[in-house]
Every structure is written in C-alpha cells, then in structure tokens.
Structure 1
Amino acid sequence: MTSTSAPSRFFYGWAIVAAAFAVTLLGFGSAYTFSAFLKPLEQEFGASRGEVSLVFSLAGFLYFALGIVSGPLADRFGARLMASLGMLLVGTGLVLAGLARNITEVYVAYGLGVGIGVGCAYVPAVGVVQRWFVRRRGFASGLAVSGIGLGTLVMPPLAAWLIDMAGWRQAYILLGLFAALLGIVMSWLLVNDPRQRGVGPDGDPLDAAAGKNAAQGITVGEAVRTRQFIGLYAASLACAFGVFVPFVHLVPYALDLGISPASAVLLLGVIGVGSTAGRFFLGGLADRMGRHASLVLMHAGIAAALVIWAVAGDFWTLALFAFLFGMFYGGWVAIIPSVAADYFGGRHIGSILGVLYTSVAFGTLIGPSAAGFAFDINHSYRLPILASIAVSLIAAAIALWVTRPRNRPERST
C-alpha cells in the first residue's frame, strides 16, 4: 500500500456516517411516530393516556437498555449484523402493532419489536462512527445522529397522513415495511474499523500512530469505575427522566389546548428541525469550543426550553419551545458518544456506550409514563413539566462536575 490517493478522494468514514444516519432516522423516526398514534390507540382500545404512554416507555427502555448487549456484540461480530437485525425487528414490530387486537398486543408488538430493534441497531451504528473519526469526532457523530432529528421531522407527519388516508393499522404496516427494507440495505454499509479499508481514523494514512488511535481505549470494567463514567451516567439518567416527555405528550397537550390535529403533529416536526440543527451545528461547534463544556450547555439549554413549555398557551409559543428543545436535545445526543470516546478511547466504545445508555433507558421508562399517569390524576401537565425542568438542571450540575479539569483522564483528547 504505497499510495494514499484513494483515501484522499473519498474517505469511507462518510459512508459510515451516512449508514448510521439512515439507521437512526428510520429507527427513531419510527419510534417517535407514536405520538401520532396515541389518540387512535386510546379510542380503539378504550385505554387511558397513562396506559397508552406506557407502550412508548417500554420501547424506549428497551432500545436504550439493550445497548449493554448489542454494543459488545457489535464490537465482536460487527455493527453491520446487529444493525440489520435491529431494522428487521423494527419493521416487524410495526407491522404486528398494526395487526394488534388489544392494547396488550400493542405492548408486545411495538414495545418489544421496536424497542429491541432500535436497541440492536442504535449503539452499534453510533459506536462505529467513533472509531472512524478522532479530530472531527463531534461533527461526524452529530451528522450520524441527526438522522434522529430528521426522522422526528418527517416520520410523524408521514404517519399522521397515512392514518388519515388508510387508518392507523395500515399506517403501522406500511411504515414497518419501509423501515425494514431501507434500514437493512443501509446497514450493510457499516464497517467496524477503518483499518479494514486500509486507512486510519479521519482518512489518515495507515501508519503506526493512526492504527493506535483506532485501537486504543480502556475496557468496560475499567471505565465504569471512573468518576467520569459515574458522572456521565448520573447526568444522563437525570436528563432522561424529562427529555422524552415531549415526544409522547406534546401532541396531546396541544390538542387539549384546542390546536388542530395537523398543527399539533407539526410540533413534533418542529422538534425534528431543531434537533437536526442541533446535531449538525452544535456537534461541530463542540469540536472547537470543547465537547465536555458543550455537554453542560446542552443540559442547561434543555431546562431553559422546558420553561417555555411551562408557560405556553398557543401554537407559536409551543413551536418556539419545540425548536429550542429539539436543538439542545439534538446537541446532547450528538455530544454524548464523542465525550465518552474522548474519555475512554475507541477500542471498546460500543460496549461502554451500551452500559452508559442504560441510564437513559431507566429515565425513558419512567418519565413519559409517569407524566401520562400524572395527567390521568389531575388532568394537567404542569407537574410533569416542572419536574422535567428540575431534573434537567440537576443533569447540568452533574455534567459541570464531570468536566472539571482534575476529573479528566489523561487519555482524553
């Protein structure tokens, strides 16, 4: 291998980013269509808002918790296999949800199918991006997970349109087939290590230093005993209690205000616009201003946005909330994997992210469903919104503690 002209023309790392982008778009986009189905499921099965919200919480718990399994499996067997399996399960879960005869079958089909499917695909797809980049890790990671933002923008309105055209059952079936077919095709672009393509991270020539950058890193057991991991875990856990509440309850909140169904679903699209902007721009900005300090700002920004939701009473105020919330939420999701790779290296990053994301799993399981049951009791979202603000501020304080210079491992880049 004497020439480096091929890598300079096209660095395959960008194909990895494109594949991860597609997987996150289809996986999370399918999951975040749930708000559009909440009212039809309530009406079809006579279930309460808390009972229906639990479907999403179960799926959310699984797709973050299962990273503890899919991350190590991807480190060993490759992200391609795990992501392909995940997208097949997402599609199958949606199709079976469309065939459900009662709310319990929706729990099993959507909760388990989509939950396990995204859990198999997400950490492997995002983890492999970290190995392909070092200098532009924040930007590349932001691009990859901006698929979540675009999925939030396009998939819920698509689902709402399909529901109007063909009913909620056919909508689930069509979305499932689309997600499985395209998701599996894009998953096959994933390659675990840049050395398999004859280059180092960032497209650098494959020399000893580049190879070391691709392979270095501490083990999971070593990582989980560090103060950095404990702090990241605690901050993510606190943030997740509140950050997923809008994805389930913003649409019904808007409907309760008398906003039209089309405009209410559009608010999820606004979150998607903000999320895409946050992942794309804030991820790259974090490379320049410091990824660790940027993480603190993301938590604080989420709290500030939720304050707007607490006082919102019309569509335009809710739209402002949705955009700002989406932007800071998107930045948070983009920066977390890069910060973890900075602290712990890339060798076992899939396994480390898998353990780290169990924190998000518990928050996702409890937050949206608790908000739904709180609404059932007092017919107001005020308490869940205020609680979401509080936990976001707690997350910002913990993240600030993590980023103090004396807490940074020597291997941080």
Structure 2
Amino acid sequence: MPVSGNTGTVFGESPRGWRSPQTLFAHMPDEGYVRPSPAKKKQETTAISLVVDIASLIIKFHVYLHYIFYQEECQRFCNSLSVFSTRRLERRYFAIDALLWRLYDNRTCFLFKGGIFPVKYMNKVFYGWFVVAACFVILFSLHGVIINTFGVFVKPVSEGMGWGRGEFSMALAAGALAMAFGAPFVGRMIDRFGAPKTMLSGCLCCGLGMVVLCWATMIWHFYLLFILIGLGLSAATTIPVSLVIANWFNQKRGIAMGTAFMGTSAGGMIMNPINALLLQKFGWRDSYLILGIVVMLSSIPLVLFIIRTRPSEMNLLPDGKPSHAASDQPLTGHTLKQAIGTASFWFIAANMLLTTGMANSIGVHCIPFLTDVGHSPLFAATAYGLSMGFMTLGKVASGFCADRWGARQTFTFSAVMTAIGIGILLFASPVWVVLLFVFVFGFPQGAPLTLTPLVTADCHGLRSFGSIFGLATLFSILGAAIGPVIVGYMYDSSGSYTGGFILLIAMTLLGAYCIHMAKAKEQFEVGAIASGRLDKADVA
C-alpha cells in the first residue's frame, strides 16, 4: 500500500508504513514477539518468499536509517516500494522494526547519504576526517602496493621470465609516463564528474591491471598493463586526494593533507615485507593476483561510501561548520587558462620537477651507493626503509607546521634539511653516519608531497584546482622519470656518485626557491588587474 500523508517527525506520527518509536512499541504485544510454528515457517519458506524477505529486510534497513535525516526523500523511496508494505510483512518484521529502532536509540551506526560512520561521533568528529582516513587507506593500498614495492618483484619476475632487470624496470617507466600524460585529463575529469567517479575508474584500472599481470607472458604485456595501472594511479591518488582535502579543510588543511599522504610511505614500509612473504609462498603470478584483489577490495568501497568531492554535498562547510545553504556557494580561484598565464604556476611546476627528480634519484641510487661504500645489501635496504618510516612522520609534522607557520616557510626549512641529509650521505661509510642520514634526510622528505598542493591552492584557489594541479603533476612525474637517469649517467661516466649527489643538493635548494617565489592568488590578482592582464569580472 502506498505511503501517503505528511512525513511527520522522527519521534512523532509517521506515515503509513513507517513507525516512530512511540507508535512502534505501542503496537507491540505485552508477551513479545511470538515466533511462527515450525510447520507454518516451513510453508512460508519458499524460494520466492525468501527472496522477498531478504529484499524487504535490506530495503527496510536502508530506508529506516535514511528516514532519520531525509524524511521526504525516503517517503518517495517508500512509495516506489509499496509492494512490500503488506500486513504479512509488517507482522513478520515487527521484531526487526523494534531492533532497528533500538539500534538507533543506542546510536550504533547509520547510513548517511552514502557515508558510513558511527553516529555517536557525528557531533564530535568532523566528517572531513573520515574522508582523510579513507584517502590514507587508498594511498596506502594503491601507491604503497604498486609503486613503493615494485623493486620486490624485479628479481623474481626478470629471472623467472629470462629478462634483464633494466628491461623489466622499463615497465615502471611506462607507468610513470602514463601517469604524467594522464594527469591533465584527470584534472578535467574531476572538475566535470567529481572526485568519486574519477577515483573509482582509477581504482578499477589499478586493480584489474594487477590481476591481469598474473597471466602476462610477454614483456610488452607488462608495458601495456603498467600503462593502464599508471593511468589508474593518476586518476585515483595524488590529484584527486589533494583536491578533496583542499575542499574539506581550510584551517587544518596542512595536517589533513599530511595525514592522508602518510599512506604512501606507510604502504611502502609495511607492504615490502608482506610482498616478500607472498612471493616466497605463492610466487609472483599469484602474488599479483592477490594484490590486485586486495587493491580493489580496500579502495573501491571507500570511494563509493566515504569520499565526497566537497563538504557542500553533505550540507557542511569546510572545517566542520554546519550549513543549510552551503551547496550553492561557488568556488573561487583562477581558471586553468588564467593559472597558466601566471609565473606562480611555472614556479610550482619547476619545483615539482626538481624535488620529485631529487627524491626519486635518491630512492633508486641510495641502496647501490651504500653497498658501494661497504655496507651489506640487507643493511642498505633496511636503512632506506627506516627513512621511509621517518618520511611518514614528516608528512604529518610538515602539515602541522604549515598550519602554524605557513607552507612556504615549512617547505624552505625541509629543503635545507634534505640538502644536509644528502651531504651526510656522501660520508656514509660508518654505520652511525648512515643512521644520521636516515633521520636528517627521511623526516623532511614528507614535506613536498604534503605542502605543494597547499601552495597550489593558495596561489590559484579551488575553482579549477583539479585541472591546475593535474597539469603541474605532469612535471613532477617527468622529474621522477628523468632524475635517476641523469644521476646514473653521471655515475657511469665518472665512477662516483659525488657529482650526482651534489647536483641533487642544488636541485633541492632551487626547488625551495621556486616554491618561495610562487605568489598567493590575491597578490597575483592585484598586480594583474593593475597591469590590465586580468579583468575584475574574471576574479571570482
């Protein structure tokens, strides 16, 4: 029977087919719910009624919990499902209704416009922090499983298939180039379709690519699949996560960004030994299959149920301020065309190229250098793994410092510390010097990934953040691909890493200078309007 009448209130009269707590318990018999006899139960348990029962239970559970917050929406939903509003079903689910209301009274959990989280924390914890936690897990599973553990598979795959290590490593380079050239398109997809849909496509590409790797038999299979994985990583990791967190936070944007991006280094630190165990027990083919399934199971539900592009989709404002009219507030900032016309954009792009090139060069050549100066491969790998652990802490610390002292100042300090750390690495023959390098280099390395999106949002606003940051990320990935090649060539020509590491020190300091020169949006607009390059009507 269709539901009719006003929606009423949660604790008052409800339309037919709904029960408020008072109405529900007023109709409950004193002797409680009487279970049907076995004979009657056997009669009713046919294939069709079982399907109807399960569907009714799911629908009632979904609708009752939504009704608490979206009465009109749920009434329309119930009207379309009137076939389930029969007396028999109402009698059967009488106890279920009571149980659901009891769960609500105990404030156990609820389904909120696609988001799932404990109700008892609703008024205490801003939903944006659940978005941050989801981004952490997504970066952990995608970036940590795929990128930061690639080296674990190099030896078993290359030896098992009879390929050279350099030949197999080109698969990662193909993925990096796919990430680079896909980044600008990802930004446009986010601006047009939103972050959840874009991230969902990326998670599917990554997971399916990892699964299909277990059947790869030719080297070009790896190249093609890593191109697919690279496009997926571009769509699901750095660009959308940066945009989502920038939308959800203003005052605590730095620490939120740092917490989310902890997932990249934490994933590498934890998943490397786990992947080694999987390889030892199952081999590389089954390991790829297992990891692909894990990637999809750990990321897709979070994208569907937790991630939201901006707080206005949940009737909130950034930093947790409630709003009943926040959904129509326009985002301010530059368009992509305006941003490209600023020097700030090119300073940010140059910074990303230099700092990412430096970081990836150390990641590729640190362990070979430590073994060259007399340390064992196990010690060298452990030392670099410890530096990634300090990097995880540094991401949160840099976000906290950015909120307190500013992103540019924090970035400059971290760059100086990083340059000192690379200088220490040149004298890393004693063990204690290596341990000093692990801390001095690793801790500030968490800053660039956390602070660069903050500076980008400060310079260009959030109006077209996805497109702007996506284009800038192109330079970051190009630096990651080119930097290790240059350092490797310098080593081949001189037989020493000294010249290459000195170049990395210069790149680090030059990157800090570039980020310091990037002007804030307001500074650019004042100068551009005064010079006639920007009209006042274009400033939104």
CA contact (8 A) 1:23 1:83 kept: no
- Partner deviation per Cα, 1:251-305 (whole Å, 9 max, x = no partner): 4444556655544443343232112111111111111111122222233333222
What is the aligned partner in structure 2 of residue 118 from structure 1?
233
What is the aligned partner in structure 1 of residue 402 from structure 2?
286
1:34 aligns with 2:150: yes
Q: Distance in 1 between matches of 2:281 and 2:500?
A: 34
CA offset at residue 126 of structure 1? 2.2
Task: Label 1:310 to 1:70 Cα distance change in 2 as closer, same or farther (>3 A).
Answer: same
Structure 2 gaps of 5+ residues are 1-68, 70-119, 528-540
CA offset at residue 115 of structure 1? 1.2
- Partner deviation per Cα, 1:361-400 (whole Å, 9 max, x = no partner): 2111212344456566666544443332222222122223
CA offset at residue 160 of structure 1? 2.3
What is the aligned partner in structure 2 of residue 19 from structure 1?
134
Q: Distance in 2 between matches of 1:87 and 1:56?
A: 18
1:84 aligns with 2:196: no
1:358 aligns with 2:474: yes
Q: Distance in 1 between matches of 2:310 and 2:203?
A: 21
* Counterpart residue type for residue 244 of structure 2: V
What is the aligned partner in structure 1 of residue 318 from structure 2?
201
Task: Name the count of aligned residue pairs.
Answer: 407
Q: Distance in 1 between matches of 2:160 and 2:494?
A: 23
Match of 1:153 among 244, 255, 269: 269
Q: Distance in 1 between matches of 2:252 and 2:505?
A: 32
Q: Distance in 2 between matches of 1:406 and 1:186?
A: 36
Match of 2:339 among 214, 223, 240: 223
Aligned residue for 1:215, secondary structure, equals: coil
- Partner deviation per Cα, 1:220-240 (whole Å, 9 max, x = no partner): 111121121111111111222
Task: Label 1:326 to 1:87 Cα distance change in 2 as closer, same or farther (>3 A).
Answer: farther
Task: Label 1:404 to 1:239 Cα distance change in 2 as closer, same or farther (>3 A).
Answer: same
CA contact (8 A) 1:80 1:190 kept: yes
Task: Label 1:299 to 1:65 Cα distance change in 2 as closer, same or farther (>3 A).
Answer: farther
What is the aligned partner in structure 1 of residue 390 from structure 2?
274
237-246 or 260-269: bigger deviation: 260-269
Residues 5-404 of structure 1 mapped to structure 2, 5 A cutoff:
8-30=123-145, 31-45=147-161, 47-48=163-164, 50-110=166-226, 112-122=227-237, 123-188=239-304, 189-206=306-323, 212=329, 215-254=331-370, 259-260=375-376, 262-313=378-429, 317-372=433-488, 381-402=497-518
Task: Label 1:316 to 1:130 Cα distance change in 2 as closer, same or farther (>3 A).
Answer: same
Structure 1 gaps of 5+ residues are none
- Partner deviation per Cα, 1:22-67 (whole Å, 9 max, x = no partner): 1111121121101222333443455555444433333233334422
Q: Distance in 2 between matches of 1:164 and 1:69?
A: 39
Q: Distance in 1 between matches of 2:433 and 2:273?
A: 20
* Counterpart residue type for residue 452 of structure 2: I
Aligned residue for 1:206, secondary structure, equals: coil
Q: Distance in 1 between matches of 2:378 and 2:298?
A: 27
Q: Distance in 2 between matches of 1:52 and 1:45?
A: 10
* Counterpart residue type for residue 95 of structure 1: V
CA offset at residue 348 of structure 1? 1.8
CA offset at residue 327 of structure 1? 2.2
- Partner deviation per Cα, 1:176-235 (whole Å, 9 max, x = no partner): 2211221112222111111111110101132779975x7222211111211211111111
Q: Distance in 1 between matches of 2:326 and 2:518?
A: 29
Let me know the Cα RMSD of the aligned residues: 3.1
CA contact (8 A) 1:50 1:376 kept: no
Task: Label 1:401 to 1:116 Cα distance change in 2 as closer, same or farther (>3 A).
Answer: same
* Counterpart residue type for residue 138 of structure 2: V
CA contact (8 A) 2:458 2:521 kept: no
CA offset at residue 410 of structure 1? 6.2
Aligned residue for 1:66, secondary structure, equals: helix
CA contact (8 A) 1:305 1:324 kept: yes
Q: Distance in 2 between matches of 1:204 and 1:271?
A: 38
Query: TM-score, normalising length from structure 2?
Result: 0.68
* Counterpart residue type for residue 268 of structure 2: T
Q: Distance in 1 between matches of 2:167 and 2:492?
A: 10
Q: Percent sequence identity over matched residues? A: 30
* Counterpart residue type for residue 21 of structure 1: F
CA contact (8 A) 1:27 1:179 kept: yes
Aligned residue for 2:426, secondary structure, equals: helix
Task: Label 1:81 to 1:11 Cα distance change in 2 as closer, same or farther (>3 A).
Answer: same
CA contact (8 A) 1:80 1:187 kept: yes
Query: TM-score, normalising length from structure 1?
Result: 0.87
* Counterpart residue type for residue 25 of structure 1: F
Q: Distance in 1 between matches of 2:478 and 2:314?
A: 38
Report 1 or 2 for greater relative contact order, CA contacts < 8 Å, sequence distance ≥ 6.
1
Task: Label 1:267 to 1:6 Cα distance change in 2 as closer, same or farther (>3 A).
Answer: closer
Q: Distance in 2 between matches of 1:37 and 1:63?
A: 20
Aligned residue for 1:9, secondary structure, equals: coil
* Counterpart residue type for residue 276 of structure 2: A
